[in-house]
Amino acid sequence: MSKSLQAIRGMNDILPEQTPAWRYLENTLVDLLDGYGYKEIRLPIVEYTELFARGIGEGTDVVDKEMYTFRDRNEESLTLRPEGTAGCVRAVLEHGLSGGGQVQKLWYAGPMFRYEKPQKGRYRQFHQVGVEAFNLPGPDVDAELIVLTWRLWKKLGLADAVTLQLNSLGSSEARAAYRDALVAYLQERFEQLDEDSQRRLTTNPLRILDSKNEATQAVLVGAPTLGDYLDEESRLHFDGVRARLDAAGIRYEINHKLVRGLDYYNRTVFEWVTDKLGAQGTVCAGGRYDGLVSQLGGKATPGVGFAMGVERLVLLLETLELLPAELNRAADVYVCAFGEAAELAALTLVERLRDELPALRLLLNSGGGSFKSQFKKADKSGARYALILGDDELAGRVVGCKPLRDDSEQQSVAWDALAEHLAACQQQA
């Protein structure tokens, strides 16, 4: 017997009962981004592998261990995108969007792919919304991105469930000097490091700061801190970011071990974290990457952005029971029709209502059925009202309108007055 077909491990179907929560989150965020003047860009899922090797950095876990890379029929090495920033920068360069110093404020959404051990909140195909801004070198846009995310948390009811962690990596020169100091410190304590950190000491030593190994964290207690190596310009930039967050009333924690896992970051880096999801605590993260555009072949161009994980945010909203109750309601009104003549009249009536009340969600019964079975489906839909159309209603050119969520009496409403009646019912709801 052949094996039953299943989704690839770590790549999940998003089922109809789950998608309303996704749409709620995405629509809330898109409305917010529109209000801040960010424009959508849609990017390919597959890019040349070189883009990520040059952009993210060889020696990072993402490039070395986690990418889905393959050769096409032309023997070109291609990769399913593991993150969105490198592809967005490639698109900006390819289409000349940042030429002449023009400001670009962009956002994108979609699936990303990393070969990781699947667990709750961490998958091999996961979804992100990313936001990027180019040719804005000052601390004001860094702060704007953080304020934007803070406003999203307020809209979603998550403001008390997340904490902002903030750091500055300084210039590339300052970061290199700090890296040398950290490596020198850790080499003297090499045997005390866990195996993964020993490997990272020669490939990506700053990632050791984020180690979850308790023994390694104990070694890091006396290690040099990034703040001691900041250049003056980066220090002033960071002070500017903090001043704006203070002015907006946004609380934050300085985390000197926050370095992010991708090599392209400099200066400001930040993460919004929660303690409500266990190990997968980061729900949004980003920072400044002023050297990435030139690293990928363009002119030096300031850049800053963030990405947030849709799965984790949906999980957080579900865990804290913050999703609106009406999300799972399939319809506002369910239309029951009994007999072929009533079904034909109901179809005409429903389409007229759609013209007159475009925001009203109308569900017309399909497949016939008895009075009891149709009412059972009406109740299961979550609709507030059922419209009833049978032979008697046809003869009188009326519709029975029965409330489903309270004990109010059924009313007979003339066809010509139905749109007005339903509009009034919606306002009262």
- Return binding residues for L-histidine: 83-85, 114, 128, 132, 260, 264-265
Beta bridge partners of 164: 272
> Cα(229)–Cα(331) distance, rounded to whole angstroms?
59
> Cα(150)–Cα(96) distance, rounded to whole angstroms?
31
- Can you give the three-state secondary structure of the chain, one letter per residue? CCCCCCCCCCCCCCCCCCHHHHHHHHHHHHHHHHHCCCEECCCCCEEEHHHHHHHHHCCCHHHHHHCEEEECCCCCEEEECCCCHHHHHHHHHHCCCCHHHCCEEEEEEEEEECCCCCECCECCEEEEEEEEEECCCCHHHHHHHHHHHHHHHHHHCCCCCCEEEEEECCCHHHHHHHHHHHHHHHHCCHHHCCHHHHHHHHHCHHHHHHCCCHHHHHHHHHCCCHHHHCCHHHHHHHHHHHHHHHHHCCCCEECCCCCCCCCCCEEEEEEEECCCCCCCCEEEEEEECCCHHHHCCCCCCCEEEEEEEHHHHHHHHHHCCCCCHHHHCCCCEEEEECCHHHHHHHHHHHHHHHHHCCCCCEEECCCCCCHHHHHHHHHHCCCCEEEEECHHHHHHCEEEEEECCCCCCCEEEEHHHHHHHHHHHHHHC
For the beta carbon of residue 123, count every other beta carbon within 10 angstroms: 21
Structure tokens at 267: 């200066």
Amino acid letter for position 362: L
Structure tokens at 57: 């950095």
Size of the chain in residues? 429
Structure tokens at 259: 């370095």
| HSE-up of residue 367 (Cα within 13 Å, Cβ side) | 4
Structure tokens at 8: 């690839």
Residues belonging to the binding site are 83-85, 114, 128, 132, 260, 264-265
